[in-house]
Amino acid sequence: MLKIAEQNIKNLANSTFAKKHITKCIENPKFLTATLLATSVSKDVFAYALRVHNTVKNKEIPEDKKSFVAKMDAITGVTTAVVQLSTGFMLASDKVQKNICKHLFSELGEGTKKFKQASKGFSVVSTLVGATLFAKRIIVPLISSPIASYLEHKHNQKGNSN
């Protein structure tokens, strides 16, 4: 088992894709930010996809509720992904970062080595905090709630007409 894992990790580590990806993560802080944002979002998307799959396969849920619950899970998953990605990329944009760093790290002297290091660290942290804390935990519920109400209303209307 460990041998198989070892061989798979070795193959992955030496693949052209992994080598290019790792080199880019080291050399380009913006790429690293995008990668961490993508890994965070993809974990959520995968978990929501799994929920949809489990709901559809669950025989204990009545058919009329099944499609509604699955649809809601799918919509929440998509909303989570879209809101997190758009917030993250907006925060990571050069314009936003330059403006904040210029004011926040003015004491370090613009263009100095310390200023560049601080800007690099701030870019990654602020993007992840914005996307995974504020976008995911505050903006997503605010958007999901009206969508849930609308779909529930529609679902109830459909149920009444049947």
Judged by the rule CB under 8 A, the positions of this chain that interact with other proteins are 5-6, 9-10, 12-14, 18-19, 21-22, 25-26, 32, 36, 39-40, 42-43, 46-47, 50-51, 54-55, 58, 60-61, 65, 68-69, 72-73, 76, 104-108, 114-115, 117-122, 124-125, 128-129, 132-133, 136-138, 140-141, 144-145, 148-149, 152, 155-156
- Shortest distance in whole angstroms from residue 123 CB to other proteins: 9
Structure tokens at 45: 């998307």
34, 92 Cβ separation under 8 angstroms: yes
Task: Give φ, ψ of 79 to 5 degrees.
Answer: -60, -45
Task: Calculate the dihedral angle through the C-alpha atoms of 52, 54, 55, 57, rounding to the nearest 10 degrees.
Answer: 120
For residue 78, how many C-alpha atoms fall within 13 Å in the half-sphere facing its CB?
7
Nearest distance from residue 77's CB to other proteins, in Å? 11
Pick the closer one to other proteins by CB: 49 or 86.
49
**Shortest approach of other proteins to residue 105 CB, angstroms?**
4
CB of 73 to other proteins, least distance (A): 8
Task: Identify which of residues 15 and 86 has a Cβ nearer to other proteins in the complex.
Answer: 15
Unique residue bearing structure tokens 């990668």:
35
| Degrees to nearest 5, angle at CA 39 with 17 and 117 | 85
